[in-house]
Amino acid sequence: MNKKFVYTSLALALSFGAMAQDKNAIKFSAPVNKERAYEHLSILASDEYEGRETGKKGAWMAAEYIKKQFQSFGLVGPVKGNKDPYMQPVGISAKKLSGISLTIGSQTKENLKDYYVTAQTTPAAGFNVKANEVIFAGYGLNKDDFNDYAGINVAGKVVLIFATGDPTAKAPAPTQGRRAQSSVGSQQAKIKYLTDNKAAGVLVINERVDNLSDAAKAFLTEGAAGLKREDATKNANALPVVTVGTAVANQILAGASTNLADVKKKIAETLKPATVTIKTPVAFSAKLIEEDIKADNVLGFLEGSDPKLKNEVLVVTGHYDHIGLVNDPNATDKVNNGADDDGSGTTGVLMLAEAFAKAKKAGKGPKRSILFMTVVGEEKGLWGSEWYSDHPIFPLANTITNLNIDMIGRGDDNRPGDNNFVYIIGSNMLSDDLDRIGKKANTDYVNIVMDEKYNNRTDPNQFYYRSDHYNFAKHGIPVIFYFNGVHKDYHQPGDEVSKIDFPMLAKRAQLVYYTAWELANGEKRPVVNKNEDGTPKTN
């Protein structure tokens, strides 16, 4: 064993907490308790808040509640230039379609019955395509051994293809399970070829169009919401795509005296393309409309007391959004309350904010600054935290750590009968210092089982990548994600306040509180000694 390494590690451990306990930390932890947790969560996860879906009434109500709590604690709204300094508007918009039409020959087809168009794949300027003929290119493949486009110039033409499939793909041995779709046979690869070769548009044959569910129709009607990323213009010149059902496909193929069944059989038997130009006029159009969606991260700032350290910021996060109302008119319980996911984490952030604010009022405030932030859009794809990391209020270089709380109110079906645990994820991914600090805080104050079952990048559940901490970690900021695991009510109406283990919610929040106390008052910030891929960092 390398003695120098041992002594260095010991010195670092001592420098991050020579005292076993800090009496002030214990004194001001009082607001982190089960009663306070119930007060917050019974409001945030009530039916009145309608499941807190991003961009909807319930989420706006939750944001307002959190803001008022931050104000009552005495936290400052740090968002400069915004009318409400506690709110960081997140750039989210919904893309919807209008003027959708498809005509085959002289017949006008019915949207969501005969075909559909998605906002995600529609060019920014919309499209209006007309052609006197259609090239049926079978599976739309362009391979050495099977080329549907041999001798065909698709530039300026409308092409009809199957959504997926590759008749030349070999089936695996039985032990290999279902055959994976080859990349060349994927719809994405097929459309890329047509885009690169400047086709005018593509009609994609998909049998699922014939029996679209009500949920699918609702999704297609509502449009697609997403972040306004800087690369949002990448679809400006996208290929117009219309997905058609079997009736439309057969109507077009009738112009070549064939149909879907016959052409599939012919290709399968000959293993040769069946490309043909069909003299059937087609026309399809759609307009894209983009509407801004109101969605805000809610921020409360507590400035540090040490002039030398207050520019360093600890960020404590939890997402206040959930998945909204049940899309089933026959459902008896229509609200996905999200008590655990992540009303519990939001409650934890509020309790920590109150505790640290009281410490500051008593002259015992943290040396470093703390940003308490509840983010929106996590359930949609970590939108709120991504927006913050791309548009930080405080420089990311000054952000010492992110402590993220996402589901701390229940147990795990894989640990029946024992809730005295919390999963920690990410604590040693970038910083061994942070890992030691978090575990020492637990030993000194809380004594909960810190389960590291999911604390790795190769976990099949990919939890390290599935909550808001990751948008800090990807920028090299060390993180700890606190999590109680998945239960049968995950993303179900059964995630109710009545099922929350409030003593354990408070205990897990206390662990985050004491870890935050050590980080905010430690002599040095945690050293980042690993790269994002886990390899040692070299100076």
Q: What is the pLDDT of residue 168?
A: 86
* pLDDT tens-digit readout, 410-463: 999 889 889 999 999 999 999 999 999 999 999 999 999 999 999 999 999 999
What pLDDT, on a 0 to 100 scale, did the predictor assign at position 15?
Answer: 42
For the entire predicted model, the pTM comes to: 0.81
443 with 364: CB under 8 angstroms?
no
Place of tokens 């009530």: 46
pLDDT digits (tens, 9 = 90+) for 325-366: 998 888 999 999 999 999 999 999 999 999 999 999 999 999
- Each residue of 494-512: pLDDT tens digit? 999 999 999 999 999 999 9
Task: Give pLDDT, residue 45.
Answer: 98
pLDDT digits (tens, 9 = 90+) for 132-143: 999 999 999 999
Sheet holding 449-451, edge to edge: 87-89, 296-302, 369-375, 313-319, 399-405, 479-483, 421-425, 449-451
Q: Give me the helix-helix angle, 57-73 and 345-361, nearest 10°.
A: 20
pLDDT of residue 251: 98
**Torsion of the alpha carbons at 80, 85, 88 and 92, rounded to the nearest 10:** -100
- Say which range, 184-193, 338-347, 484-493, has the weakest mean pLDDT: 184-193
Helices and strands, counts by H and E, the chain? 14, 19
Token pair belonging to 124: 């920014």
Apex CA 118: angle with CA 240 and CA 466, to 5°? 125
For 102, half-sphere exposure in the C-beta direction (CA atoms, 13 angstrom radius) is 24
Architecture of domain 3-90+295-521: 3-Layer(aba) Sandwich (3.40)
SS3 339: helix
pLDDT score at 230: 57
Query: What pLDDT does 180 receive?
Result: 37
Average pLDDT over residues 397-405: 98
CA angle 317, 64, 91 (to 5 degrees): 65
Lowest-confidence region among 8-17, 262-271, 455-464, 530-539: 8-17
| 66-70, 218-222, 381-385: segment of lowest average pLDDT | 218-222
Query: Cα-flanking dihedrals φ and ψ of residue 155, to 5°?
Result: -55, 125
Mean pLDDT rounded to a whole number for the chain: 92
> In this predicted model, which residue has the larger pLDDT, 337 or 221?
337
- 238 pLDDT band, cuts 50/70/90, is confident
Instruction: Please state the domain extents for the chain.
Output: 3-90+295-521, 93-291
Q: What percent of the chain has pLDDT over 70?
A: 92
The most confident of the ranges 10-19, 207-216, 306-315 is: 306-315
Backbone angles phi, psi at 262, to 5 degrees: -70, -40
Of 367, 230, 375, 265, the residue nearest 316 (C-alpha): 375
CATH code of the region 93-291? 3.50.30.30
Q: What is the pLDDT of residues 142-155, one digit of tens each?
A: 999 999 999 999 99
Q: Provide the residue type at 174 as one letter.
A: P
**pLDDT of 215:** 82
Q: Which residues pair with 127 in a beta bridge?
A: 286
What strand order describes the sheet that includes 134-136? 115-116, 241-244, 201-205, 158-162, 134-136, 276-278
Query: Using CA atoms, how far apart are residues 23 and 286, in angstroms rounded to an integer?
Result: 66
